[in-house]
Amino acid sequence: MRRDPFTIGIIQDHATDDVDANVARAVELIREAARQGAQIICLKELFNTTYFAKSTKVDHFDLAEPVPGPITDTMQALAKELAVVIIVPIFVRRAPGLYMNSAIVIDADGSVLGVYDKMHIPHDPMFEEKYYFTPGDGHQDYHGEKPGEANGFKVWKTRYANVGVLICWDQWYPEAARITTLLGADVLFYPTAIGWHPAEKDEWGEAQVQAWRTAQRAHAIANGVWVASPNRVGHEPEPGTNGLEFFGHSFVADPFGRVVAEAGTEQAVLVHTCDPRLQEEVRRNWPFLRDRRVDAYRPILNRFLGAPR
């Protein structure tokens, strides 16, 4: 059983149309997190580009790259140099016409452990993700990785801890958090791109932030895991609209659901040390995994069961 504490870091920053500048900024922020002691570092969703899914434009597919590819090469070298695990969320070209919203998990020796493909794909005004992203299904093979066996959800044993990765819209689904926990995750990372429609901010802005944080804190509590969610910040324009304002508020929650590190709406590096003894203590006192009625959960496989008559 793993007993050593491990230190996680999450990066909150903005993005521009200059992809090279976005990558260079991320590299410097990863170095800063490592200087602060982070051993496992996660970037925001689609870290090297603006959030291009605000509209449907076929040219945006050119932003995707294969795995392995230039971004992978850069981050592998950095992980090896700093002896840190890096979670790298990018737009992946899997095959001609097949694109994924993914996160590459790179171990502290620079090796690619695998890739998680976002499972839940939203479709909302200015979040036109179904146009771009094929949902993960656990059957993609990257760089020698064996296909997944848990319907797309995965956990990797890194040098420092067992890491589960879910992406943005996945964070609203308790099933995703539970399955990833059952696969052995010590910490769930949720790289994110979530923000406000500026016209709605005054009325709904604070409630939206609190709902986002509350849902993920609940996953931490229900599963006895750390949750770490790096979001992006900054206003990103879109012709003919008010654009999107990404609200930041990245945070880390412990297995008791307490927010132990948090950011505002500016660029930030959050670092927190996780002690497995706390996870053991919480799960002994709140034995939710022990008391699950797995024999009674078959109805969850239905889309809808109907209202009582």
pLDDT mean for each 10 residues of the chain (309 residues): 87 97 98 98 98 97 96 98 98 96 98 96 96 85 53 93 98 97 97 95 95 98 98 96 97 98 98 97 97 95 88
| pTM for the predicted model, two decimal places | 0.95
pLDDT at 308: 81
Q: Which residues pair with 164 in a beta bridge?
A: 155, 188
Q: Cβ-count burial of 203 within 10 angstroms (0-12 exposed, 13-18 middle, 19+ buried)?
A: exposed
Looking at 44, 128, 154, 168, which residue is catalytic?
168
pLDDT at 2: 56
Query: What b/e sequence results for 20-57 when a residue is b if at least 16 CB atoms lie within 10 Å of its CB, and e otherwise?
Result: eebbebbeebbbebbeeebbbbbbbbbbbbbbbbbeee
- Token pair of 269 as six digits: 């590096």
pLDDT at 81: 98
Looking at 42, 44, 54, 118, which residue is catalytic?
118
**C-alpha of 237 from chain center:** 23
Looking at 42, 44, 45, 154, which residue is catalytic?
45
118 included as an active-site residue: yes
Distance CA 107, CA 114 (A): 9
* C-beta pairs of 201-205 under 8 Å, 24+ apart in sequence: 201/245, 205/247
168 included as an active-site residue: yes
- In the block, tokens 């802005």 appear at 205
pLDDT at 90: 98
Domains contained in the chain, CATH given: 6-301 (3.60.110.10)
